[in-house]
Structure 1
């Protein structure tokens, strides 16, 4: 009888451990999915900006001015770079090097937009250093980006907190969940 009770206790502890692992794993998966979904909203808002600028550049005739042509080319290149980095981030939206590339591409795109939009006859504010959103400088209203960026960064922060806290860190290590990177 004593062996039977010890066996039942062992099986009970194993069942509790398995249920705990499954619950912790599901929580991490939900948090990672929330961060990925938040990135999808940010990606859509940024792509709308890029597509707007690409359409604007396609609709305007090529400028005769050499400087303006160079600015158009730089802006087209920045649009392509941002679109490519956003595409790469769709596959791995929490990967730190990928998100660093997206951040650099956004800053390059905003800078190219500012240089392009500050040509004679246009009145746009100067680019504020370190400001990813750059205030009113976006070609379309930036309200979607201003909402999506903090939501994505908050979702990544929640996921990172869950991945690094004990005892869920054991599940994260076993399931190979890595700390995510916000867009800065």
Structure 2
């Protein structure tokens, strides 16, 4: 074979390899976005659950933080609502670009603060009316949390595979050219 034929064959093999590597990265990103959507769906169940428990049907599904100031609620419930609103805002901000650099860090912080406030509320001593958190609400919250943690675990596995893929040598060149970045786990 002559030199130009070998050169063209080498160029064709490299081009097909590059397209295959790019498609693999895009498929991993799509799986990550799907898993993010599943996790987001579970996380969005917390606020309506708490609003329904507090009989705040007149408040919109995602109330303005200034509306919370007017509500006559115990301090921990007020704080939980604020944390849930922060989680909602973070979910809205990351909806269109879930695999953007830094998106998962903000979501992890918001979700952790919601769970911390919930645990404080559950551990708070009851009063004459009973426990701070009714048993039924506690069960529903735990069911949502279990599903959320399961979807977060699935997302983290996908993100781990994605991060490994963009750091492998040949694919790292394409990832760098396409500006694909590592995504932090939640």
Could you say which TM-score interval applies, normalised by the shorter chain? 0.7 to 0.9
Among 83, 88, 95, the residue aligned to 2:93: 88
Unaligned runs of 5+ in 2: 58-70
| Deviation sequence 1:75-131 (CA, Å, 0-9, x none) | 22111101111122222322342211111111211222233343512277xxxxxxx
**Aligned alpha-carbon RMSD (Å):** 2.6
* Alpha-carbon distance in structure 2 between the residues aligned to 1:108 and 1:137: 20
| Pair 180,103 (structure 1): closer, same or farther in 2 beyond 3 Å | same
- Give yes or no for the alignment of 1:12 onto 2:9: yes
Question: How many Å apart are 1:165 and its aligned residue?
Answer: 0.6
Q: TM-score, normalised by structure 2?
A: 0.78
* Shift, 1:181, TM fit: 1.1
Is the CA contact (8 Å cut-off) linking 1:163 and 1:177 kept in structure 2? yes
Indicate the residue corresponding to 1:53 in structure 2. 50
In structure 2, the residue corresponding to 1:29 is in which secondary structure?
helix
Per the normalisation by structure 1, the TM-score is: 0.78
Answering whether residue 166 of structure 2 is matched by residue 163 of structure 1, we say yes
The structure showing larger relative contact order (alpha-carbon pairs under 8 Å, at least 6 residues apart) is 2
- Unaligned 5+ segments in structure 1 are 61-65, 125-135
CA distance in 2: counterparts of 1:52 and 1:73, whole angstroms = 14
* 2:86–2:110 Cα contact (<8 Å) kept: yes
Residue in 1 aligned with 2:131?
122
